[in-house]
Amino acid sequence: MSNPTPLDGVDVVLADLDGVLYQGPHAIPHAVDALKKAARKVRLGFVTNNASRTPAQVAEQIAGYGLPALPEAVVTSPQAAIRVLARVVPAGAKVLVVGGLGLTSEVEKAGFLVVSRADENPAAVIQGFAPHVGWEHLAQASFALQRDESLPWIATNTDWTIPVAEGIAPGNGALVSAVHLAVGRLATFAGKPEKEIFDVARERFQPTLGALMIGDRLDTDILGANRAGMASAFVMTGIDSAKSLLASDASMRPTFVLKDLRELHKPYPEIVRSVDGDAVHTVEVGKAVVRRKDNVIRVARPGLPVDLVRAGAAIIHDSGLKIFGLDVDTQIYS
């Protein structure tokens, strides 16, 4: 009998977008076909920290790749941020918005009045990523927060970077950090890895068997899924690499490690652990074999590259030792 696939035992799949389905305007190889196949047996949703666009705009891009998607299938960090905002200021209040249409549309839909300047006396500041956000927008947020140290400041997400067609660019976390340096206080975040956005997704899709979160970032997608009590699949097509996985702490370790999304439909190999009388620890995944003696980790048999990563991650994480204290064979992550 073959091992279960990552899709077995779940009825909802939640996929990140940037770095999982597409990078910039281009679909990631195999991602569309793999998710179309998954949608035949599970409900498919999309959870994105990118606050620059509306759910309708995101759904249109997804559908453009041939993967059917309605706006209701898209959960955004602005939607989560609005839930936080609604708990701290009354409906109809003025809100200084730093961001684009994806954020302003949700603020207006919730009954708040969008303003752009500190001298308009906003009741809160809400901040999200948009390509046009510049110094003047960050400065106005800073001025408002300096005038009233108790003013609520909510940010959609903490992503330091965002993958685009040309490469990796600064994300909302970098822009929020600029305001933080000016005002000396921290924002309240709502997107991944915070539980708020996963609560929105869970309420919308109502999993009965369970949900699987697919992401390319350990510090947002995988950490958030772990906090929300969801299974997670880390796919190595975006921001984080095999090396990042090996160095990750316990809070960011995924249930599954995938080279690409085709592996959603393949039996997931068993991780076999053993230790001999000389205290040599061995981990086997498929045909890949990795061994550890004290702080030295070496490849005994490479097998498939993704199985080698899985075996290397298991033996490093099992050791309880910090990555900087280990002598790790570079073949595992190169």
Using one digit for the tens of pLDDT, what is the confidence trace for 295-329? 999 999 999 999 999 999 999 999 999 999 999 99
Longest CA pairwise span in the chain (Å): 73
Dist. CA 245–CA 238, nearest whole Å: 13
The superfamily CATH assigns to domain 78-189 is: HAD superfamily/HAD-like (3.40.50.1000)
Average pLDDT over the chain reads 96
Q: What average pLDDT does range 8-33 have in this prediction?
A: 95
Report whether pLDDT(165) > 90. Answer: no
Report whether pLDDT(167) > 70. Answer: yes
pTM of the model: 0.92
DSSP character for 222? I
pLDDT for residue 197: 97
Domain 12-49+193-265 has CATH 3.40.50.1000: yes
126, 98 Cβ separation under 8 angstroms: yes
Q: What average pLDDT does range 58-85 have in this prediction?
A: 97
Which is nearest to 128 in space by CA: 94, 105, 151? Answer: 105
Which is nearest to 262 in space by CA: 240, 233, 232, 284? Answer: 233
Dist. CA 252–CA 106, nearest whole Å: 30
Q: Kindly list the catalytic residues.
A: 16, 18
Amino acid, single-letter form, for residue 129: F
Q: What average pLDDT does range 120-124 have in this prediction?
A: 98
10, 231 Cβ separation under 8 angstroms: yes
Domain edges within the chain = 12-49+193-265, 78-189, 271-332
Q: Band the pLDDT of 41: cuts 50, 70, 90.
A: very high
Q: Band the pLDDT of 22: cuts 50, 70, 90.
A: very high
Fold agreement between 12-49+193-265 and 78-189: yes
192-249 pLDDT, tens digit per residue, is 999 999 999 999 999 999 999 999 999 999 999 999 999 999 999 999 999 999 999 9
pLDDT for residue 168: 85
Q: Band the pLDDT of 183: cuts 50, 70, 90.
A: very high
Cα distances from 224 to residues 105, 247, 289, in angstroms, run: 25, 18, 30
pLDDT for residue 2: 84
For the chain, what percent of residues have pLDDT higher than 90?
93
pLDDT for residue 140: 98
Q: What average pLDDT does range 129-149 have in this prediction?
A: 96
pLDDT for residue 1: 67
Report whether pLDDT(25) > 90. Answer: no
